[in-house]
Amino acid sequence: MDAAEKTVTIKLAELRPTQRAVGYEEVSAKRSKWRALSAEGKLDFLASHPFPAVYGPNAQYFVVDGHHMALALLQEGVDTVSVRQIEDLSNLGANQFFVTLQKRGLICFSGALQTLSELPRALQDLADDPFRSLVAHLRRNCGCPKDHTPYAEFRWADFLRTHLKPDSHRSDPVLAIKAACKLIREAWCKDPCAACRCAEEVVGG
């Protein structure tokens, strides 16, 4: 383990996000899964799922992944979680810290963020992006595209944003999911493998 890496316990309310929005429907889905766990299961989950974060200015931890789960736990009344400190950049000023996160691929460029002050101050301030919920649904139920590069879901959400109406997922979710699946398959998964569930949709129309 790098000298900068360590695991600490921190209050969820004190975690700083490194993105502007999440999909509220996906947060709701994670809340449901959390409620379904036994008391022991919840303890095991918290112990085995530390949130990766960077220690930054003003002695704050900036979570770089797991925003949906973090917000879900906060809404479920969880007070503290484990944080895996992947780097200590607390010696940097706000501007240099923000630029460093960008250069190291630890912050998403989606939404043309320019400064650290543009990020929400807390998890509960994250806005709702229905396209993130739509992408999360596709990732759970479609099985492709099999792109595990950082922030792939942001690119898919921004792609769908240019083709679908913002309220389409809420007004007609079945149609929106079908349209989104077709768009993403044509753009990223033109040749589905035999085991891919997208192939079933191609056959089934």
pLDDT at 137 (0 to 100): 80
**Distance between terminal CA atoms of the chain?**
50
pLDDT at 40 (0 to 100): 97
Domain extent at residue 156:
129-204
pLDDT at 45 (0 to 100): 96
> Do 92 and 141 belong together in one domain?
no
Low-confidence ranges of the chain (pLDDT < 50): 1, 143, 199-205
> Do 62 and 139 belong together in one domain?
no
pLDDT at 203 (0 to 100): 32
pLDDT at 127 (0 to 100): 92
Contact 188, 147 (CB under 8 A): yes
Domain count, the chain: 2
> Do 45 and 67 belong together in one domain?
yes
pTM of the entire predicted model? 0.79
